[in-house]
């Protein structure tokens, strides 16, 4: 018997990822489907050949269109779900059997006022696995019930789940892998996120800017710096694979540039308020 859980998968020219991911998910869950951004590489056809539903990210048909508002696309994908429980994955991620079993157990218990976070491990282009990168969240919220009332704040990037009063978050040690691109592509994606931040409408209050534009980014910059250097020093003692310096440099640079992008977005929104 399959678990009563929907698994939406965000795709864009993602056939190689689906070839790895779908055979794991289809036997386990009631409702596996992709929400596709008009792929041109056979992603949609491959999913349909396995009996997986294909939904559209957009109402237009522009080939390979980029996502400009992640929260709207996420919530659009949830609206297509047939089950109350949703286990969300991107096409460049894949689950361990331990994680899938844990998801099944949680859904069967059906405590809808609890949302669940799982560990994410980075898989670098050469196949090396970084267990604790300290940049992507150590824990990533991916399993929740729609009836809990959880939703995403309306921002183009940096998705942040909003939990109603009474809903609690539980962290689990089970993990999934996330495929990272090479450093050049990685930085190109970072710059796209910065442009989206700069183009967003934000809260015009000074309190908001200080909290999110300065305190959040400086706090993250300091924490990420301390953690990354601590890992670089300690990893030889534990024979652990640490994040290569080229990625660390890009992450730290992103935090510095993010403050400028948020300031520009705030200034423009305040002037038009």
Q: What is the pLDDT of residues 249-273, one digit of tens each?
A: 998 999 999 999 999 999 998 988 6
pLDDT at residue 145 greater than cutoff 80: yes
pLDDT at 229: 83
Model pLDDT for residues 195-226, shown as the tens digit of each residue: 888 888 788 899 989 988 899 889 888 988 88
- Burial (0-12, 13-18, 19+ Cβ within 10 Å), 241: middle
Of 121-125, 153-157, 265-269, the least confident: 153-157
- Tell me the average pLDDT across 122-150: 84
Question: How many angstroms separate the Cα of 97 from the Cα of each of 57, 135, 248?
Answer: 28, 25, 30
Q: Strand pairing partners for 115?
A: 169
In sequence order, the 6+-apart residues with CB closer than 8 A to the CB of 165 are none
Question: How many angstroms separate the Cα of 59 from the Cα of each of 14, 38, 65, 168?
Answer: 20, 10, 11, 34
Structure tokens at 186: 């990685």
Q: Percent of the chain at pLDDT above 70?
A: 91
Query: Higher confidence at residue 166 or residue 75?
Result: 166
Give residue 239's pLDDT band: very low, low, confident or very high (50, 70, 90).
Answer: low
pLDDT at 136: 66
Give residue 155's pLDDT band: very low, low, confident or very high (50, 70, 90).
Answer: low
Q: Strand pairing partners for 144?
A: 86
Per-residue burial over 24-51, b = 16 or more CB atoms within 10 Å of its CB, e = otherwise? bbeebbebbbbbbbbbeeebbebbeeee
Q: How far is CA 144 from the centre of its chain?
A: 14
Q: Is 7 helix (H, G, I), strand (E, B) or coil?
A: strand
Please check whether residue 149 is in contact with residue 167, taking contact to mean a CB–CB distance below 8 angstroms. Answer: yes
DSSP tag of 37:
S
In 3D space, the residue among 161, 167, 176 whose CA is nearest the CA of residue 103 turns out to be 176
- pTM (predicted TM-score): 0.83
pLDDT at 22: 95
Please check whether residue 50 is in contact with residue 22, taking contact to mean a CB–CB distance below 8 angstroms. Answer: yes
């Amino acid at each position: 018997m399959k678990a009563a859980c929907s698994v939406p998968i965000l795709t864009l020219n993602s056939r190689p990822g689906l070839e790895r991911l779908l055979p794991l998910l289809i036997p386990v869950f009631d409702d596996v489907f992709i929400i596709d951004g008009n792929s041109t590489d056979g992603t949609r056809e491959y999913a349909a050949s396995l009996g997986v539903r294909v939904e559209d990210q957009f109402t237009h048909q522009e080939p390979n269109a980029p996502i400009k508002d992640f929260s709207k696309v996420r919530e659009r994908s949830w609206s297509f779900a047939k089950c109350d429980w949703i286990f969300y994955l991107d096409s460049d991620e894949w689950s361990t059997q331990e994680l899938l079993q844990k998801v099944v157990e949680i859904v069967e218990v059906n405590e809808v006022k609890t949302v669940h976070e799982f560990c994410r491990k980075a898989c670098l282009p050469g196949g090396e696995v970084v267990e604790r990168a300290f940049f992507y969240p150590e824990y990533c919220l991916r399993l929740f019930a729609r009836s809990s009332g959880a939703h995403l704040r309306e921002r183009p990037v940096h998705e942040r789940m909003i939990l109603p009063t009474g809903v609690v978050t539980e962290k689990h040690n089970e993990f999934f892998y996330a495929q990272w691109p090479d450093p050049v592509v990685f930085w190109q994606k970072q710059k796209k996120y910065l442009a989206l931040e700069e183009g967003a409408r934000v809260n015009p209050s000074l309190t908001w800017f200080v909290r999110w534009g300065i305190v959040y980014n400086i706090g993250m910059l300091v924490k990420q710096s301390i953690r990354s250097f601590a890992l670089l020093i300690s990893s030889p003692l534990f024979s652990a694979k640490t994040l290569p310096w080229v990625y660390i440099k890009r992450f730290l640079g992103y935090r510095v540039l993010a403050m400028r992008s948020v300031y520009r977005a705030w200034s423009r929104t305040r002037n038009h308020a």
